[in-house]
Chains A and B, each alone.
Chain A
């Protein structure tokens, strides 16, 4: 075991390999407040990468309904329970050092999935705490969720009110997920054949299909359960972050790096993906005008998913503001209260950066703001909303402008019949 620094936990951590960080890291922000589970991302991924025989149960991108849904079923509750059994009552955060770049959320005093060997929950050969979901858990990605189905015996028809399934009369939200391309991947740590690697240029985690022998150690180890076994090839497969697009090899992009298929297909415009600069210690290099750096480290509205697992996931979420805080703190760590406070009362720059989501399929490397006049100030539910005619400009890899977003006040043309009514 080596000692590495996990900035999301604010402390050093045990990991089976020495630390090695890419030049830039694939990362993304999902705004849960906008997700309506249309599943466009899910199907974009499915129709691009996992439509072959043997991949029927395989959803590299999925959207699940929380708190009662999950693919595979109850994946997060199961791993949280394993960690609790390994360290009863000890999975706690303390606020020490919160706000520093090396510990923005304070310090996690509990154990990660790499630090439970001595509790002997698993055979000594296991490097990572995990479990292997059974076939039933993989089979139905949205079972027991609020998806409307058609009346029995009638094909291609939705139930008119969507109430064919039991309705959960409580709060819920939709959690869109892909592989987090973690900085300390559990799948990579667990693979006995070293078939899994992290690319030095963009941090994308891939399984070498030539090397994989389908031992499923990665499936067992990944706490997010995003490594999936394929029976007919007897290998495991996972999200590849649409790496040909990220490399700029898609003919549509003219050589520019493009966002993944799931990002591009998002009709709710909840997603932004980018490549962030890393320092030699694995923390994010200061890049003030990078939209992801701004959302994660300046505005602090985007938080990692289950940071306590210890893999340093590179997927960040703007938490849903209507969900009880204890649940959100368990899922996104102690930064939740600040994130929701800031997101609910956005400042001028945050409003501007939120306008960059899904305006283009090319990856944004930098943004700039040209400030304009205030055009509206009013109240919405006791909150003061101020809108400005600011222009936000997005730049690509080579510093070239991709697009600019601005605000227009609508003008109304008086109809002919009222032309002289003044």
Chain B
């Protein structure tokens, strides 16, 4: 079949847009999610569940692209750093708030 270079001026030619991409972008994304969530306190299993969940297409695509052993290695590397500490949040006393909702009118019988 003869091949012609596509003519971008031809309205019938499907023009694709080339995206610059580094082969390491997927790994970098996986590291970003793993680091961020490890810093939030996620452990290894919790983080792996995030990557396995297909509804979270970003982490899941990293798992599909890099494979579970590599994702597990990335997760372990990040948990090894951030899992050493646990962030604790202490509310001030004012945080205990009593809800004051209007009383519901009683139905007359």
**A interface residue numbers (CB < 8 A to B):** 31, 33-34, 36-38, 65, 67, 145-148, 158-163, 167, 169-174, 251-254, 268-269, 320-324, 326-327, 354-355, 359-360, 375-376, 378, 380-381, 385, 387, 389, 400-410
Q: Count residues of B near A (Cβ-Cβ below 8 Å).
A: 46
**B residues less than 8 Å from A354 (CB atoms):** 39
A–B Cβ pairs within 8 angstroms, 29 of them: A33-B36, A65-B57, A146-B61, A147-B55, A148-B54, A160-B54, A161-B54, A162-B57, A163-B54, A163-B64, A167-B61, A170-B21, A170-B25, A171-B19, A320-B32, A326-B20, A354-B39, A359-B89, A360-B95, A381-B77, A400-B92, A402-B94, A403-B89, A403-B91, A404-B90, A404-B92, A406-B87, A408-B86, A409-B84
| Residue contact A380 to B26, C-beta cutoff 8 Å | no
**CB neighbors of A among B82-105 (8 A):** 82, 84-92, 94-95, 97, 99-101
Are B32 and A410 in contact (CB-based, < 8 A)? no
**Residues of chain B lying within 8 A (CB to CB) of residue A404:** 89-90, 92
A360–B25 CA distance with the chains assembled, in angstroms: 33
Nearest CB on B from A413, distance (A): 15
Given contacts A148-B55, A171-B21, 19 further A-B contacts (CB under 8 A): A31-B36, A33-B32, A158-B54, A159-B54, A163-B64, A167-B64, A169-B65, A251-B101, A324-B21, A324-B25, A355-B87, A360-B95, A375-B85, A380-B35, A401-B92, A403-B92, A404-B90, A407-B86, A408-B86
Tell me what chain A mostly uses at the interface: helix, strand, loop, or mixed: loop
Interface string of B30-41 (1 = CB under 8 A from A): 011101110110
Q: Which of A254, A355, A378 contacts B94 (CB 8 A)?
A: A254
Q: Does B66 contact A (CB under 8 A)?
A: no
Do residues A254 and B97 form an inter-chain contact, with CB atoms below 8 A?
A: yes
Asked whether any CB of chain A lies closer than 8 Å to the CB of B28, the reply is: yes
Docked complex Cα distance between A36 and B59 (Å): 7
Q: Please name all residues of chain A whose beta carbon is closer than 8 Å to the beta carbon of B54 when the two chains form the complex.
A: 148, 158-163
CB nearest neighbor in A for B74: A381
| Cβ–Cβ contact B55 & A162, under 8 A | yes
Q: Main SS of the interface on chain B?
A: helix
Closest to A255 in B: B97
Contact call B57/A402, Cβ cutoff below 8 A: no
| 7 A-B pairs with least C-beta separation | A162-B54, A322-B28, A146-B57, A171-B25, A401-B92, A322-B29, A36-B56
Contacts of A169 in B (CB 8 A): 65
| A163 CA / B54 CA spacing, docked (Å) | 8
Q: Which residue of B lies closest to A409 (CB)?
A: B85
Q: How far is the CA of A361 from the CA of B26 in the complex (A)?
A: 33
A27 to chain B, nearest CB (A): 22
Compute how far the CA of A380 lies from the CA of B3 in the bound complex, rounded to whole angstroms. 49
**How distant is B36 from chain A, measured CB to nearest CB, in Å?**
5
Known interface pairs A252-B97, A252-B99, A381-B31; A174-B85 also in contact (CB < 8 Å): no
